[in-house]
Structure formats: C-alpha cells, structure tokens
C-alpha cells in the first residue's frame, strides 16, 4: 500500500485485505542456527523458536496487507478478539510492514472469512 503506515484503527481494519498463504506452518524449537527457510525466528531465554514451512504443520498464515504503523493501537486486539469470539486461536507475528496471523490449519477458511467481514464492516 502507498502513502506510508496507517495508524488509526478504522483505517487499519478497513485496509487489512487479509491474504491466506497456501502453505502449512509449524512452530519448532531449534538447536543452533535456525534453518534458512524459517519465516520468523524468536530467541527466548528458554530456547529458539522458528516458524517453518512444514507439509504436516498445524498452522495457516494469514497476512494482513495493510501497512500498519508499529505504534498503531488496537489492530491486534480487534483481529484476535474477532477470532476468539468464534473459538479460533491466533498467534500474531508483526513485521515492519505487515502483521501475520497463524491460525489452526483446519479453521483457516473460517478465519479468513471472519477477517474479511471485519475489514468490510470498518
């Protein structure tokens, strides 16, 4: 999206344009250097987690295409809340340009529809 990051909640919601990735993903604790194909790497005191493409992975990735400002308030709460109302878990990973939601693979289409509805209602 052009024009720079969006920081107001209504604008972030309206511009979400959620896109479903067709790959399956897994969260794995890794030893040593994470694999090059890792989507994200999180280093914690207890160990290093990598989010990896995995044919048997239990998660789908939905990317919110809006360039949400890192200081924007409420987007994560709004999308996680909408999914939680339907009993869908959501793990959020934020990058500089986009937010990525990891939802259960078997509920990916339902999650996408909920997010599309939320965007249309904004």
User: Using one digit for the tens of pLDDT, what is the confidence trace for 104-113?
Assistant: 999 999 999 9
Domains by residue range for the chain, with CATH: 9-24+55-121 (3.30.2130.10)
Percent of the chain with pLDDT strictly greater than 70: 98
Question: Contact at 8 Å (CB) between 53 and 24?
Answer: yes
Position 45 scores a pLDDT of: 96
Residues 52-78 have pLDDT tens digits of: 999 999 999 999 999 998 888 899 999
Tell me the pLDDT tens digit for each residue of 34-46.
Answer: 999 999 999 999 9
- Quick one: which H or E segment has residue 30? strand 19-30
4 burial via Cβ count (<10 Å: 0-12, 13-18, 19+) = exposed
């Amino acid at each position: 999206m052009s024009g720079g990051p969006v920081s107001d909640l209504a604008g972030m919601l309206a511009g979400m344009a959620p896109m479903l990735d067709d790959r399956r993903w897994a969260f794995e604790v890794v030893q040593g250097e994470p694999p090059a194909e890792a989507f994200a790497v999180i280093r914690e005191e207890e160990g290093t987690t990598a989010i990896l493409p995995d044919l048997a992975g239990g998660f789908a990735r939905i990317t919110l295409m809006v360039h949400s400002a890192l200081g924007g308030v409420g987007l994560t709460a709004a999308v996680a809340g909408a999914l939680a109302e339907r009993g869908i878990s959501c793990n959020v990973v934020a990058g500089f340009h986009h937010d990525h939601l990891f939802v259960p693979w078997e509920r990916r289409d339902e999650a996408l529809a909920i997010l599309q509805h939320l965007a249309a209602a904004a």
